[in-house]
Structure 1
Amino acid sequence: MSDVKPARASVRTLVAGAVPALLIGIGSAVTLRIIDLLSDQVNALWWTTLPHLFGATNTTPWWIFTVLTITGALIGLVVWLVPGHGGFDSAVTELDGPFPKLTALPSLALVLVLSLAGGVSLGPENPIIAINAALAIALISRLTTRMPAPLLALLALSGTLGALFGTPVAAALLFTGVVAGTNLPGSLWDKLFFPLVAAAAGSITMLMLGGNILAFKMADTGPFQPIWLLTGFVVAAAAAVIAIAMAWVFPFVHRVFHSLRNPFLFTLLGGAILGVLGMLGGPITLFKGADQTIELLQHPSDYSITQLASFAGIKILALLVAASAGFRGGRIFPAVFIGAALGLLAASLIPGMPVALAVASSLMGVMLVVGRDGWLAIFVAVALTGDVNLLTVLCVIIIPVWLIVTKAPEMVVKVKNPAKEFA
C-alpha cells in the first residue's frame, strides 16, 4: 500500500463551505414541505370534500377511476401546453440529474403536486431533487464562485434526501461511494463533510416543520438463528428477481405509451389505466406508497395471502404505468410498498420466518434493483422494520443478492439526450 496520504482540507475551507451547504439543506427541506402541504390540500379536496358532494367516498371505485383519469388529463395538459413542459420525463432521469432550467420549475412543481394529490403511484424524490438542485445552482452560485454547479447539485440532492427520510444517514451512505471518486480535497470524511451538513440541515428542518418520516417499528426477531441467512436470501433473491422483471419491462411499456406522441393522450390513457388498477386494488395501492406501507405493516394479519399478492402485483403495474406514461415522480417510495407487500407475503408462506426479517429481506431485494445502491437498500430495510439486530444478517445476505442484481437492467429508460424527452 502507498504511504501517501491525501491532503487534508483546511478547517477554514470546511467552515466556509458549510454555510452554503447549510442554506441548501434548509432550503431543500422547505421546498419539499411546501410541496407536501400543497398536495395535502389538493388531496383533501379530491378525496374528502368532493366525493361527499357526489354521494361517494375515497374508496368508491368509480370515484377512484374518475380522479385518476382527471389527474392524467390535467398533467397531460400541463406537460403539453405549459412553458417548461413539466421538466424532463422522470423515466429517463436519475436522482443525480440532469436537472431542468429555472423556467421549467413552475410547471414541474405543478405536475408534482397534481401527481401526489391525485393518487399516482410515484414518489416526490426525482422532481423535488430537480427543483432543489436547479434553485441551488441558480441562487448559491451568485453568492460564491468556489462551489461549482455539480457540487451544488450534490448538496441539493443530499439535503433533499435528508428531508425525505428525516435523517442524514441515508445521504451519508449513498454518497460514500459518490464523493470518493470526486476531486474534492481531503480524506473521505472531508469529502463527506458538505453533503452531511446539507443532509443534516435538511432532516432537522423537515422534522421541525412537521414532516413525515419513513420509519416503523416491527416486533423484534429475537436471538439470531442461522436459518435466517438461508430464508432471508431466498426472500431477497425472489424479490430482486421480481423487481428485475419489472425493470426489464419498463422501457417497452414506456415506448408503447410514448408512441402516442401527444403527452395529453398518453398521460390521459395512463391516468385511466391507473384508475382501473385503483378500482381493483383499492386506496391502499394508490399514492406514493409511504403511508400505505405503514398501514400494511401495522396490521399484517388483516390481509390474506391473496390480498398481499394482489397488492404487490397491482402496485408493480401501477408503478410501471405511472413511470412510463409521462407522469413526473420517483420510483423509490412505490418500490418500498412493493417490497413490504412481498415481504409480508413471504412471511405468510414460509413457516416460522420472522415477519421483520421477511419484510427487510424483500425490501432490500427490491431496493437493490430500483435504487442500485446497497447501502440505501440496507438503510431502508432497517428503517422500515426498526430492528437493528437484522443489520448483520442483511449485510451477509446482500452479498450473493448483489451478484444477481449487478448486471440486471436498471429501473430507468436509457436515452442519449433527455432534453428530447420533453413530452
Structure 2
Amino acid sequence: MPPDDPAAFGHTLRFALAAVLLAVAAAGAMVLFLAVQYGGVALIWPESPPVPYFTLLLTTAGGLAVGLCLHLFGDHVGLLQETLATFEKTGRFEPQYLPAGLLTIYLSLVSGASLGPEVAAVDMGGGMGTRLGDRVAALKDRVRDLSTVGFLGCLVGFAIYLLLTGPPGALYPVPPYTFVAVDLLYAAVLGLVGAAAGVGFIYSYHLFARLTAPLADRPLLRGLLGGLGLGILGTLAPLVLFSGQTEFRTVLAEGAAMGAVMLLGIVAAKILASTWCMATVFKGGPVFPLFFAGGTLGMAASLLAPGVPIALAVPAAMAGMTVAVLKMPSVVLVLLAMVFLQWDIVPAVVVATLVGYAATRGVVLIEKG
C-alpha cells in the first residue's frame, strides 16, 4: 500500500538512512578517539616514573599545552552541563570549533586530568550531526534530531570500546548482591551521604572558579597553575589522576586494605583534583570522576558499617553523589545499571538517586541563564 504522502515518506526515509549512517560514523569516531587517547596515555605514562616528580612535570607540561591551545584557538569547550544547556536552547552544536575542541580535550585527558571523555562524545557526535544537517539541504529541518543521534552514537562507541578492550563483565565488578527490603533504608542514607559529597564537589568548583576568574584572559598562566595543582594532588594520591574507571577497580580490589580513613582522603583529593581541572584549563566531563569518588565513598561507608554490603554501599553512594552534581536522575539510573550489570542493585540505586536528587535540587554546579 503506497504512503498517503509520498513526499513526507521520502523525507522520513532520507532522515532514517542519514541517522543510521551518522550513528555508525559517530560510534566509529569515538572508538578511534578513545584508542588514540589511551594509546597516548600508554606512551607518555610509564608504569615506573623515570625521574623524580615525573607526575608533576608531566601534568604541568600538559596544562601548558592545553593553555597554549586555548590561547591560539579560543576556548569553545564548555562544561558538560553548559554544553547540554546550550544545545537545549539552540538545537545545534557549532562544528567549526570541533577540531580545536577535540585537541584540547585530548591533551587534557592524556595529561592525566581528573576528567572523563564524555564531553568529547557529546561535542564530537553533536558536531557531526549539526554539520550533516547544515550540509544536506533536505535535512536542514532535522538538525536538532541529527545532533542528538550523533552524540548518542558516540556514547554507543564509548560502550563498544569498553567492551572490546576491557575485561569481560561489568565495568565495576562489585560482589554478587541479593536484594533485601531493609537495604532500601540503607540506600536512602547512603544516597544522602553521596549527595553531601556531591554538594562538596559543587562548592569546591565554585570556590576554584572564583579564585581563577581574574585569570580568565590568561590561559597560559591558568594552564601552568592547573598542571601544578593537578601534579601535586596526583603525586600525593596517584589514584586521583585520569577519569577513574581503571583506578576504581584498584579501589574495589585494595580498598579494604587501605582502610576507611585513607579512602575518605582519596575521595576528598579526587573532588579537589576534578574541580581544580574544571576551573582552570583542562577539558573533560565529570561523570566518571563522580563515579570514582562516589564509589570510593561507598567503599569507605561499608568499612565503617560492616553490616552494609559493599555491593549496596558502592552504587548507592555513587548514585547520590552523581545525581547531586548532574541533576539528571534518569541518566544516572541508566548509567549505573549499565556499569554494574546486577538487577538486584537497581531498587537501591533508584532510592539513592531520588533521595540525592530531592536533597540537592537547589544546589547547582552551573546556573541556567
TM-score bracket for this pair, using the shorter chain length: 0.7 to 0.9
Q: Structure 1 unaligned runs (5+)? A: 1-9, 167-202, 417-423
Q: 1:212 to 1:257 in 2, by over 3 A?
A: farther
Pair 1:323-2:278 in alignment: yes
235-244 or 380-389: which moved more?
Answer: 380-389
Name the residue aligned to 1:87: 76
Name the residue aligned to 2:46: 48
Amino acid at match of 1:367: T
Tell me the C-alpha RMSD between the 2 structures. 2.6
Q: 1:88 to 1:381 in 2, by over 3 A?
A: closer
Q: 1:229 to 1:207 in 2, by over 3 A?
A: closer
Amino acid at match of 1:149: V
Identity over aligned pairs, percent: 22
Pair 1:72-2:70 in alignment: no
Name the residue aligned to 2:4: none
Residue of 209, 234, 237 corresponding to 1:281 = 237
Residue of 146, 156, 171 corresponding to 1:215 = 171
TM-fit CA distance, 1:329: 0.9
**Alignment partners' CA distance in 2, 1:146 and 1:35:** 27
Pair 1:265-2:221 in alignment: yes
Q: Work out the number of aligned pairs and report it.
A: 354
Pair 1:225-2:180 in alignment: yes
Q: 1:127 to 1:207 in 2, by over 3 A?
A: closer
**Alignment partners' CA distance in 1, 2:154 and 2:84:** 10
Q: 1:243 to 1:207 in 2, by over 3 A?
A: closer
Residue of 152, 158, 174 corresponding to 2:152 = 158
Partners of 2:209 and 2:280 within 8 A in 1: yes
TM-fit CA distance, 1:221: 2.0
Partners of 1:253 and 1:321 within 8 A in 2: yes
Deviation string, structure 1 residues 365-387 (Cα, Å, up to 9, x no partner): 01112221112222333333332
**Alignment partners' CA distance in 1, 2:155 and 2:80:** 19
SS at match of 1:330: coil
**Alignment partners' CA distance in 2, 1:92 and 1:158:** 16
Name the residue aligned to 2:316: 361
**Alignment partners' CA distance in 2, 1:318 and 1:13:** 48
**Alignment partners' CA distance in 2, 1:235 and 1:207:** 28
**Alignment partners' CA distance in 2, 1:138 and 1:384:** 32
Matches within 5 A, 1:388-403: 388-403=343-358
Amino acid at match of 1:128: A
Q: 1:397 to 1:75 in 2, by over 3 A?
A: closer
Pair 1:116-2:114 in alignment: no
Name the residue aligned to 2:35: 37
Residue of 17, 22, 25 corresponding to 1:24 = 22
**Alignment partners' CA distance in 1, 2:299 and 2:22:** 38
TM-fit CA distance, 1:63: 0.6
Partners of 1:25 and 1:156 within 8 A in 2: yes
Name the residue aligned to 2:3: none
SS at match of 1:76: helix
Q: Structure 2 unaligned runs (5+)? A: 1-7
**Alignment partners' CA distance in 1, 2:80 and 2:340:** 29
Deviation string, structure 1 residues 183-238 (Cα, Å, up to 9, x no partner): xxxxxxxxxxxxxxxxxxxx5xx578x3559723321222x333212211111111
Amino acid at match of 1:158: L
TM-score, normalised with respect to structure 2: 0.87
Q: 1:265 to 1:348 in 2, by over 3 A?
A: same
Amino acid at match of 2:147: A
Amino acid at match of 1:163: G
121-130 or 135-144: which moved more?
Answer: 135-144
SS at match of 1:94: helix
TM-fit CA distance, 1:114: 1.1
Q: 1:352 to 1:14 in 2, by over 3 A?
A: farther
Deviation string, structure 1 residues 281-307 (Cα, Å, up to 9, x no partner): 12x210011211223224433321122
TM-score, normalised with respect to structure 1: 0.76
**Alignment partners' CA distance in 2, 1:40 and 1:64:** 17
252-261 or 320-329: which moved more?
Answer: 252-261
Q: 1:382 to 1:128 in 2, by over 3 A?
A: closer
Partners of 1:347 and 1:354 within 8 A in 2: yes
Partners of 2:93 and 2:123 within 8 A in 1: yes
Structure with the higher fraction of residues in helix conformation: 2
